[in-house]
Structure 1
Amino acid sequence: MLASDLDGTVLGHDFRFRPRTLEALAAAQDAGIQVVFVTGRPKRWLHPLHEQLDDVGVVICSNGAVIWDPGRQRVLGSSVFGVHEALPVIEDVRRAFPDSLFAAETLDAVHTDHGWSRTDRMEVADVREGPLADSLTPGAGVVKLLAKLDGAEPEHYVRRVREIVAGRLAVTHSVAAAPLVEMGQRGLTKARTLERYAAELGIAREEVMAFGDMPNDLEMLAWAGRGYAMADGHPEVVAAVARTAPPFTADGVAQVLEEYLAREHPAAAGTTGKDDHV
């Protein structure tokens, strides 16, 4: 199995795959390797995959909270937490950082505070704006709770929110330059969901190659038999992971895949290779 993060790993700032990476991913699939994208993105932000890949396959979204089948537009599994767990966290973070803004993802909608600016990726039909205590119904399952504080130093804000949350929810972040904190079900990581999904397919961790670049990828890279941090990724991740792939701008994932396929699956590797694309 090949498990890969998206943004900063195989997708650039333009949300596009590089041609060499697309070829390497296709060659891996031709070799019988299961390709699974494991991303912090919610399922509604997967349009770059549909636009560029013939076979998207199953995607693990929202930092492991949702297993999504794009072909059937169906949730195969989810790990959510209750509104009663989210609201006290919001209160405690806001007490320490009064200007923090919050957004909550459910399986069906997006709930945001007034003033939470939306990017093109956040422009969806069902956005419910207003105090989350009012817009979230008590029985709703929360996929992800986000907190941000514009102008704050990102590492400090993430560290303090993690201390405030104190294990009640899983806390991570995936955008190095932004003071944005992502919170999920307690104990949730990309690794936990990937491990369960791989086990359902009869795939052991030793048979998994994984790529990522940010702290929300760290557990996945440590769990996989072959975990690679992108060389241009977050310094904390690069320092913690034994293997390093070349940077995204040098088609790092493609380079590692090409070398692996040439060694283990030469027939499937075909003409894909570094010399053909320089």
Structure 2
Amino acid sequence: MTSATDSPLPARPRLIATDLDGTLLRDDKTVSDRTVAALAAAEKAGIEVFFVTGRPVKWMGVVSDHVHRHGLAICANGAVVVDLHGGEKLVKVRGLDRAAALDVVQALRDAAPGTVFAVEKTTSFGYEPLYPPFQDDPGTQVAPAEKLLQEAGEADGDAVVKLLAHHPTLTPDSFLTLARTTAGHLASVTRSSPTALLEISGLGVSKASTLALCCAERGISSDEVVAFGDMPNDVEMLGWAGTSYAMGNAHPDVIAAASGRTVANNEDGVAVIIEQLVARARAQDTA
């Protein structure tokens, strides 16, 4: 595996951008003690840490205690920036136009019969009756996607941030290719699940594009960013960052996009690299 010491890293990176599931988190969805210590050490060394995930805001509790100075996280594949220190206040929302979402639904129904949908909004979640079983919460609606997309307006503060599409028989990568061919001109299509579940955002919205916006606001260039990921929804971010690492458990497209590799998430692959970054920063400070 490639290590930080023999990778073309910036002299002192200013920001670490890391995916969560399959990357920072272990398979049991915990943050190891080693990773907690590494994140704290990075912040102490003056390196900001951004969590950049496909998760909705309401699933960020697992890492909310480990966002330090700024408190910000990028959720829903770049559709939402949230302040986890500020009561989960939404700082930025890059929604999916409802008309475009309806066009995507129709296009995928035609191209891949049997596709079922869920709709993630800023304040609620809904899914179709045949969508794979989902844990209900008080805000969950069960209805056809067309109804879910038309019920609330963005003026009501319930913007669509992600359309989810599931197919019961297609392979994950073939479904992704089909959807991008069919609807890629309408929206951004990616995936992070091991099943044929696609995540559809506004056109041009991705982890990479929102991370770039957040970095520009802080005067941080891509060359000063080190990124980590494991699935296709991380590919653009890993390509944008000056230095990037695919996890040992990463999808082949992620390995191809990253400039380096680390060990798997269950072996604390993110922490391994952060420890090397922090050690090198300390050595520079004492030189």
Same fold (TM over 0.5): yes
**Which segments of 5 or more consecutive residues in structure 1 lack a partner in the other structure?**
269-278
- SS of equivalent residue, structure 1 residue 124: coil
Pick one of 63, 66, 87 that aligns with 1:53. 66
Look up the equivalent residue of 1:134 and give its one-letter code. K
Aligned-pair distance for 1:61? 0.3
Aligned-pair distance for 1:21? 1.1
Question: Is 1:174 paired with 2:189?
Answer: no
Aligned to 2:183: 165
* Alignment partners' CA distance in 1, 2:232 and 2:180: 13
CA-based RMSD of the aligned residues comes to 1.8
Aligned-pair distance for 1:250? 2.0
Change (3 A) 1:20 1:251: same
Deviations 1:64-123 (A, max 9, x none): 00000112121100111221111121112112222111011111111211122344xx43
Aligned to 1:239: 256
Aligned to 2:204: 187
- SS of equivalent residue, structure 2 residue 27: coil
Question: Is 1:80 paired with 2:80?
Answer: no
How many residue pairs end up in the alignment?
264
Aligned-pair distance for 1:151? 3.0
* Alignment partners' CA distance in 1, 2:76 and 2:163: 10
Aligned-pair distance for 1:249? 2.2
Question: Is 1:128 paired with 2:141?
Answer: yes
Look up the equivalent residue of 1:81 and give its one-letter code. L
Aligned-pair distance for 1:138? 6.2
TM-score scaled by structure 1? 0.89
Q: Provide the identity percentage.
A: 38
Structure 1 residue runs of 4 or more that deviate by more than 4 Å after TM superposition: none
The answer on whether the counterparts of 2:45 and 2:281 sit within 8 Å (CA) in structure 1 is no
Aligned to 1:66: 80
Pick one of 215, 218, 222 that aligns with 2:232. 215
- SS of equivalent residue, structure 2 residue 273: helix
* Alignment partners' CA distance in 2, 1:257 and 1:68: 24
The answer on whether the counterparts of 2:245 and 2:260 sit within 8 Å (CA) in structure 1 is yes
* Alignment partners' CA distance in 2, 1:33 and 1:108: 32
Aligned to 2:242: 225
* Alignment partners' CA distance in 1, 2:140 and 2:169: 24
Question: Is 1:16 paired with 2:54?
Answer: no
Aligned to 2:57: 43
Aligned to 2:111: 96
* Alignment partners' CA distance in 2, 1:267 and 1:23: 21
Deviations 1:15-65 (A, max 9, x none): 101221111111001112111100001101112113x53748200000000
Aligned to 2:8: none
Look up the equivalent residue of 1:264 and give its one-letter code. A
Pairs within 5 Å for 1:256-271: 256-266=273-283
* Alignment partners' CA distance in 1, 2:240 and 2:284: 29
Aligned-pair distance for 1:224? 1.0
The answer on whether the counterparts of 2:103 and 2:186 sit within 8 Å (CA) in structure 1 is no
Change (3 A) 1:54 1:74: closer
Look up the equivalent residue of 1:254 and give its one-letter code. A
Deviations 1:222-273 (A, max 9, x none): 11111111122001111232211222122111111111111112599xxxxx
- SS of equivalent residue, structure 2 residue 63: helix
Look up the equivalent residue of 1:159 and give its one-letter code. T
Pick one of 249, 252, 255 that aligns with 2:269. 252
Aligned-pair distance for 1:150? 1.9
* Alignment partners' CA distance in 2, 1:158 and 1:214: 12
Look up the equivalent residue of 1:126 and give its one-letter code. G
Aligned to 1:151: 169
